[in-house]
């Protein structure tokens, strides 16, 4: 047993998301989501692909559960496709019984295999009907009501079978990449530059505000009407990279490194734990950042039973001397991979946004724990890709020693955060069970502990990491 440890009963497993694995986009009554539409726009996805087939998991639930069992997983985090449950999305639209039954059976099958389900209600695939009808997240009042209704349909359908609920996955990504850079669905960049009136980017901040209020409304619905009888917990999943100052001796870089954390994480974390946006964001964004009404504060403040943490990367941060651009969303600073002393933060991966640095994981979870008063954490995603993994011959690709090392480093860092730094962490979901549709990067980027042969009928081949990860947890989780 290593000196550091994870607590008894620690829940570990894997995470996936509906659009990335399911395929079957028009089966059993499912309608388009904004990602179906986004993928049809030429140039949006690196390899011109889509989630039309993906891992075909809609038809292979038994195979996926068998893989989870083989790995020894205790839990599985997956997301529901809103447009399978309520194809057009809205509170007055019909509920699709076939969609509900598909997931109810899946949850029953997971339980039969001894695997705890953890459900994400929204992992980016908004029903396109709501985007077309009223602009999706840009229409706060409509979006909040429709999300609350969808959440209630789900709470009702699964009842006590599901103990872990996540409202939104990485609202930063949906807000910034969906409404500022246009990289993600719904692909909006329309107000990125200054207009003739000197207007500036507002949409990502409006979308973010809608996510927060919708999260609060769903949590209130759960706590008022389901939690006591069903006995579950509910939270939000936030992504965030660790930051180190480019020059640790320059107070402006030290300050910028914290400001980057605030723009990326506290944007959502502070309203949930403190009922307000960070001062640094208000200072830079002024009234482009929406104000909370007293009713909204009451809804949002205190709305996490646990903090869902996705973590992948660390960066060096250098302050800027110039005034922020209107479309700046990082806090007026430079994000670098090399610091003033020439140190590299971590090796390159297939994804430009990912640089492994396990110590950054430990530092970030401690920073979050200190800032938010020691909440309970579930790590809801962590994992890596390898530059060029997709080009390797199958036998080499299955020997993914780099991924085994990655998990050793990160799980060890988490055990240090728990045993030495006193962080209350109770679970970890590796990203991902399967290679899958990596959004704008298409199928070139592989994150799975299982190779999926897209050219060979979606056949699954467990990689070495699928066999190794359980033994790493075995070393760290306390038996008594």
In terms of Cα–Cα distance, which of 304, 311, 429, 420 is closest to 372? 304
Closest to ligand NCW by CB, 181 or 475: 181
Closest to ligand NCW by CB, 267 or 292: 267
* Residue 91 C-beta: closest distance to ligand NCW, Å: 27
In this structure, are residues 300 and 292 in contact, taking their beta carbons and an 8 Å threshold? yes
Closest to ligand NCW by CB, 17 or 333: 17
* Residue 170 C-beta: closest distance to ligand NCW, Å: 5
* Residue 285 C-beta: closest distance to ligand NCW, Å: 18
Q: Cβ neighbours of residue 15 under 8 Å, at least 6 residues apart?
A: 76, 77, 78, 118, 380, 381, 429, 430, 431, 432, 433
Handedness of CA 357, 359, 364, 369 (dihedral sign): positive
Place of tokens 């109770």: 426
Closest to ligand NCW by CB, 296 or 381: 381
Looking at 110-262, which runs of residues are DSSP E strands? 116-122, 164-169, 233-239, 242-245
| Cis peptide preceding 432, ω within 30 of 0 | yes
Positions in the binding site for ligand NCW (CB under 6 A): 17, 20, 169-170, 173, 181, 310, 353, 381, 431, 438-439
Exposed / middle / buried, residue 62 (Cβ in 10 Å: 0-12, 13-18, 19+)? exposed
Exposed / middle / buried, residue 452 (Cβ in 10 Å: 0-12, 13-18, 19+)? buried
Catalytic residue among 203, 381, 389, 441: 381
Tokens of 281: 């964001």
* Residue 169 C-beta: closest distance to ligand NCW, Å: 5
Residue 381: active-site member = yes
Nearest residue to ligand NCW on Cβ basis = 353
Catalytic residue among 22, 142, 148, 170: 170
Q: Cβ neighbours of residue 90 under 8 Å, at least 6 residues apart?
A: 129, 130, 133, 142, 146, 149
In this structure, are residues 210 and 140 in contact, taking their beta carbons and an 8 Å threshold? yes
* Residue 129 C-beta: closest distance to ligand NCW, Å: 22
Closest to ligand NCW by CB, 239 or 303: 239
Closest to ligand NCW by CB, 117 or 171: 171
Residue 296: active-site member = no
Which residues are marked as active site? 170, 381
């Amino acid at each position: 047993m290593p000196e550091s440890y994870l607590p008894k009963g620690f829940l570990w497993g894997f995470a996936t998301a509906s659009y990335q694995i399911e395929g079957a986009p028009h089966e059993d009554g499912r309608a388009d989501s904004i990602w179906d539409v986004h993928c049809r726009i030429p140039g949006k996805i690196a390899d011109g692909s889509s989630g039309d087939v993906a891992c075909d998991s809609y038809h292979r639930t038994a195979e996926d559960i068998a893989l989870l069992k083989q790995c020894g997983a205790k839990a599985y985090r997956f997301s529901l496709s809103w447009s399978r449950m309520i194809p057009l999305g809205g509170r007055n639209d019909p509920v699709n019984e076939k969609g509900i039954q598909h997931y109810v059976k899946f949850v029953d099958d997971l339980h039969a295999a001894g695997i705890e389900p953890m459900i994400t209600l929204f992992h980016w695939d908004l029903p396109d009907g709501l985007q077309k009808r009223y602009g999706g997240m840009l229409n706060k009042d409509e979006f909040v009501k429709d999300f609350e209704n969808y959440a209630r349909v789900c709470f009702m359908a699964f009842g006590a079978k599901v103990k872990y609920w996540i409202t939104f996955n990485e609202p930063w990504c949906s807000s910034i990449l969906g409404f500022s850079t246009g990289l993600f669905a719904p692909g909006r960049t329309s107000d990125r530059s200054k207009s003739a009136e000197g207007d500036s980017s507002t949409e990502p901040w409006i979308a973010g505000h809608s996510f927060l209020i919708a999260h609060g409304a769903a949590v209130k619905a759960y706590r008022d009407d389901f939690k006591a009888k069903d006995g579950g917990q509910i939270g939000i999943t936030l992504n965030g990279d660790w930051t180190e100052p480019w020059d640790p001796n320059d107070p402006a870089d030290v300050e910028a490194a914290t400001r980057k954390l605030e723009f990326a994480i506290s944007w959502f974390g502070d309203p949930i734990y403190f009922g307000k946006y960070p001062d640094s964001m208000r200072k830079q964004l002024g009234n482009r950042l929406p104000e909370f009404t007293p009713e909204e504060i009451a809804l949002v403040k205190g709305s996490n039973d646990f903090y869902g943490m996705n973590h992948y990367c660390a960066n060096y941060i250098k302050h800027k001397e110039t005034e922020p651009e209107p479309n700046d969303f990082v806090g007026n600073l430079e994000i670098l991979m090399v610091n003033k002393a020439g140190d590299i933060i971590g090796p390159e991966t297939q994804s430009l946004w990912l640089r492994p640095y396990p110590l950054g994981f430990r530092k970030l979870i401690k920073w979050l724990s200190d800032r938010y008063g020691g909440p309970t954490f579930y790590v809801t995603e962590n994992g890596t890709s390898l530059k060029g993994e997709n080009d390797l011959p199958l036998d080499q690709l299955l020997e993914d020693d780099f991924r085994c090392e990655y998990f050793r480093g990160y799980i060890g860092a988490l055990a240090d955060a728990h045993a030495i730094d006193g962080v209350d962490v109770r679970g970890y979901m590796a990203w991902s069970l399967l290679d899958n549709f990596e959004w704008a990067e298409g199928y070139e980027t592989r994150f799975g502990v299982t190779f999926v042969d897209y050219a060979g009928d979606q056949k699954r081949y467990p990689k070495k990491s699928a066999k190794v990860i359980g033994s790493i947890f075995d070393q760290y989780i306390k038996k008594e």
